[in-house]
Amino acid sequence: MEEWKVIRKVSNRRTLGTVWLVERKVMSPTGYDIERGYFKFANVKTQKYIGPLAATELIAYRLAQVINLPVAEIRLVKVGEQIGAVSLIKQAQPLYHWRQLSSRVLHDIPNLIKDSERLLNAFVFDIWICNFDRHGRNAIAYSTGDKYDFYLIDHGLSLAGALQRVKNPWNDPFWDNKVSFKYLKGTRHYIKSYDRLEPYVKQIQNIQFKNMEEDKSLTSITSIVDSIPHHFLPSKTKTILKNFLFHRQQKLPEIVQRVVKKRFN
Ligand SMILES: Nc1ncnc2c1ncn2[C@@H]1O[C@H](COP(=O)(O)OP(=O)(O)OP(=O)(O)O)[C@@H](O)[C@H]1O
Ligand SMILES: [Mg+2]
């Protein structure tokens, strides 16, 4: 497991835990590069509220990769004596929280955000994994010259994080009926039509539950959940998450249509 060192404490939230800025040196042909990231872990107290945090972040990252969503790379790492997840920082400067983008940009998303269709994909993905936390600090934007590119961060309150926080069992109708998903500022106009979301619903429905042959490529729900080391995620929780993801995948058209109807009409 990679060894990282702490630069500084970034935030200290009683229920959700501390986030640390960390770095490590990596050898490169020209000497050393510095990799930086944000590190978080669940201790006994925070685990009570948000469950197996590092595993949740890693599963969300790997699922997002299957559908080509831009998400910060997550690695399970050790910082001092603590194991947890690091979210790698993109080497672009400056980085902005989505909510820092100017209204000029937010009013002209199709022209000023690169591949802005990915925002529709992200909205559907958040509904699938039950991420209730897509506020304006959980997407990072950076300039690419004439446009802004972006990536998503912080999926700690999705999947096992959401189930642990709310406490309703995974198969409680509560989850199918929940519509209070956040969306990024400026996107309301684009995500309010189900027709535009449907291709991304289908894309998620096309993710295999299990691959027939041994799946080292991490492209099925089963291989992604089962790839998490057992000390980060007990097998009982793995079974729950596979059921939860499969159930929401099957019901996704209905669930997304309900969100659209109740939130936007
Ligand atoms: N990969 C990344 N690239 C850039 N910034 C990041 C990245 N990961 C985390 N951050 C920064 O660290 C902050 C805290 O990280 P994160 O959102 O994962 O934790 P959190 O405690 O759940 O925060 P919040 O309450 O803001 O949602 C982010 O708001 C962002 O500023
Ligand atoms: Mg956050």
Percent of the chain with pLDDT over 90: 83
Q: Of ligand 1's atoms, which has the minimum distance to the CA of residue 87?
A: 1
Ligand nearest to the CA of 156: 1
Give pLDDT, residue 47. Answer: 79
Q: Report the distance separating Cα 84 and Cα 71, nearest Å.
A: 18
* pLDDT for the residue 215: 67
Window from 4-18, 19-33, 186-200 with minimum mean pLDDT: 4-18
Residue with CA at minimum distance from ligand 1 atom 19: 154
C-beta of residue 113 within 8 angstroms of C-beta of residue 150: yes
Q: What is the pLDDT of residue 77?
A: 93
* pLDDT averaged over every residue in the chain: 94
Q: Which atom of ligand 1 is nearest to 156's Cα?
A: 22
Quick check: 216 pLDDT over 80?
A: no
Say yes or no to pLDDT of 182 above 70. yes
Residues near ligand 1 with C-beta < 6 Å? 10-11, 13, 16, 19, 38, 72, 87-90, 95, 133, 137-138, 140, 153-154, 156
Render pLDDT for 127-163 as a digit per residue (tens, 0 to 9).
999 999 999 999 999 999 999 999 999 999 999 999 9
Q: How far is the CA of 31 from the centre of ligand 2 (A)?
A: 33
In angstroms, the CA 119 to CA 36 distance is 26
State residue 119 phi and psi, 5-degree precision.
-70, -35
Residue 203 has pLDDT above 80, yes or no: yes
pLDDT at 100: 98
The answer, yes or no, to whether residue 222 has pLDDT greater than 70, is yes
What pLDDT, in 10s, does the model give residues 50-76?
Answer: 789 999 999 999 999 999 999 999 999
Does residue 93 carry a pLDDT above 80? Answer: yes
